[in-house]
Amino acid sequence: MQEARFFYQTHDAAKQQVRCYLCAHKCIIGEGKRGLCQVRENRGGTFYSLNYGRLISENIDPIEKKPIFHLLPGSLSYSIATVGCNFRCKHCQNYEISQYPRLYGGDVPGTMRSADEVVGAAQQSGSKSISYTYVEPTIFYEFAYDCATRAHAQRIKNIFVSNGYTGPEATHELAPILTANNIDLKAFTDKFYKEVCGARLQPVLDTITLMHQLGVWVEVTTLIIPGWNDSDAELTDIAHFIHGISPEMPWHVTRFWPTYEMTDRPPTPHETLRRAREIGLAAGLKYVYVGNVPDMAGENTYCPQCGKTVIERSGFSILANRLEHGHCPACKAKIAGVWE
């Protein structure tokens, strides 16, 4: 347990309430209560992170699994998470850990680790980056920030895999030491965010925009769910939004599988994913990828100038990387990303 960041006491001192502004929910929390994330608690007017250093998951993943395609392809990323989340997505594939405190009476389990131990483990594993992932990393911000600061000093890159609900104050603080952020843009309607996730759309759009403005390499992922966010109109809206920030921002359109509280609809048809990719390319996006299903054409990176295949992928594996210092070997065009 450690004192949390990004909170203040409200004016009603008698109630000992605090307002947390770490994420866009901006919870007001009474004495002895927790925020929506269930891992930050008000104790006597001081706010605490209950999950600081309590890792529930530590893995060595290929960076393509995040998915991050335009940062050191083929490298390993040391991936960590605690329990808790500030969303309540009905289709969460990691609900066993993201919703753990809600499912088990507020318990916050985990193996205690120090930031130095995490960075040391990343170095020992040969990982070129540390990914804060599996649940929303903002909810363990204090520990993630301490790890990221040490990793940055050791020239290890830092990656968030996020729902995009990080508050602007935390985003400004984190951006100088954050190399990349894969942000879920789950849909383009408030109805989806309210009914499926317990959140709102606009803060996610704001975070994607701000992260890019602050120089963080951003890739966007949309899990396409039949009957929820798979219309041509909505996919076109998402593609146009991304293009409005940067046509070089990669968009991953990925397959849904029934899970948790959303088992009432089938997996996403492969054809829907291909159509989504075509919509993204037609909107002017230079890099659109198909995920969670084998699709060689939709997994590769192509030079947007001459069309040559510069990176070949199969699942999480790199079959060929033909980039020459971040440029196409055929026409010498620069391919956007972090390659060195």
The boundaries of the domain holding residue 312 are: 54-321
In a domain, 73, yes or no: yes
Task: Provide the CATH number for the domain around residue 254.
Answer: 3.20.20.70
Summarize pLDDT for 185-195 with one digit per residue, the tens: 999 999 999 99
| Domain presence at residue 340 | no
pLDDT tens readout for residues 273-309: 999 999 999 999 999 999 988 877 899 999 999 999 9
Query: Does residue 75 lie within any of the structural domains?
Result: yes
Q: Residue 12: what pLDDT?
A: 72
CA dihedral sign of residues 38, 61, 117, 157: negative
Estimate to the nearest angstrom the gap between the alpha carbon of 282 and the chain centroid: 25
Do 16 and 129 have their domain in common? Answer: no
289 and 257 assigned to the same domain: yes
Domain co-membership, 271 together with 289: yes
Which strands form 57-62's sheet, in the order they lie side by side? 57-62, 76-81, 129-132, 157-162, 180-184, 217-224, 251-255, 288-291
Please identify which residue in the block is written with the tokens 């993204």: 280
Identify whether the C-beta of residue 11 lies closer than 8 Å to the C-beta of residue 130.
no
- Looking at the domain assignment, is residue 327 inside a domain? no
Q: Give this prediction's pTM.
A: 0.96
Mean pLDDT of 45-55: 96
Q: Is residue 330 part of a domain?
A: no
Instruction: Please indicate, yes or no, if residue 70 is contained in any of the structural domains.
Output: yes
The reply to whether 25 and 143 lie within a common domain is no
Do residues 112 and 244 both lie within one domain? yes
145: its two tokens: 């920030």
Domain count, the chain: 2
pLDDT of 292: 86
CA pair distance 55, 93, nearest whole angstrom: 18
